[in-house]
Amino acid sequence: MEEEHVAKRWEYRIVDAKDIPGRMPGKDREDVEKYLNALGNDGWEMFALHFRHPELRYEFFGIARREVSQQQGM
């Protein structure tokens, strides 16, 4: 029996280092990793990332996506 190919559906989220709890200015590595790991645990995958000022560590924004299940999309 031939399988039907169903196109993947995605939802997107803007990710910004400004949303990460922690001290300012700048974030420390542990704060950023905790934030990104929480996104990953919720199924989000970063696929676009831009650093605002390369000299300022961990100051970025980007786009994350996760697949929408068929049940969610209906």
Rounded Cα distance, 67 and 45, in Å:
9
Task: Specify the pLDDT at position 1.
Answer: 59
> In terms of pLDDT, which residue wins out, 49 or 2?
49
Highest mean pLDDT among 2-6, 15-19, 56-60: 15-19
Contact predicate 42/56, CB 8 Å = no
Using one digit for the tens of pLDDT, what is the confidence trace for 7-40? Answer: 889 999 999 988 887 755 556 788 888 999 999 9
Rounded Cα distance, 7 and 22, in Å:
39
* Nearest one of 8, 68, 6, 12 to 45, comparing CA atoms: 12
Task: Specify the pLDDT at position 58.
Answer: 78
- The model's pTM is 0.72
Rounded Cα distance, 8 and 44, in Å:
15
